[in-house]
Structure 1
Amino acid sequence: MGNELADAIRTQLRLALLGHYGTLEIAAEALGMPYKTLYRHLTTTGKDRTARVSLDFVLDVANHLQAVAGIDFAEIHRRAQIRADVPALDDDQENYDLAARPRATDRGEDME
């Protein structure tokens, strides 16, 4: 499941950049990074050369898209989940996950 979602995030980042800038060359210039970097990280042919994309890269691109196009990472992630057919956690699951974590007072530790 992780690879499908990661690939879908790459695709959504690429589509958002292409939608705003038209080409990856122009997007790379706007981001202040080499075109080769975007190509290697965001295209299917370049992906083979870099199996993993760093979180820093994804967040840099997503933060840039937020600033110039109003597309935040949450939107990129949501679109990627739909594309990869990965179910999103509903609010009840997220709240359960948070509630299930032991608090400091539950472990007998002082909070001070």
Structure 2
Amino acid sequence: TQCAGRVVQQFSPKGKIALEIVKDLHILVGELLCEFSNHNSRLPNKLVFYRAGVDDGSFQKVLDNELRAIQRACKELYGHNQLLPQICFIIVKKHHNTRFFVWDKKSNQTNNLQPG
């Protein structure tokens, strides 16, 4: 399996805080679709979009705006006669509480993982 991606870092005009919505996402997605098409001689029939770093209160806003941008890029490239791809949109919260623990069978205790 091969995949391509883009990492975008963007800030407000004053440069102090990160913006929640990805600007010009339809352009980025269009570039990725063209890259896929050039490499595979066809456009994809499924897209997986992984979006990380979203605040709890911004989930719906991000989903609405960015899904619309992805759909726009697809409509521009696929044309009217071709089926649009299925889109899987994954959003990961900005602050998550995932923890990994080591279980010591001898003492029947759990501890935090050691660094490294």
TM-score (norm 2): 0.28
Larger radius of gyration: 2
Structure with greater helix share of residues: 1
Structure with greater strand share of residues: 2
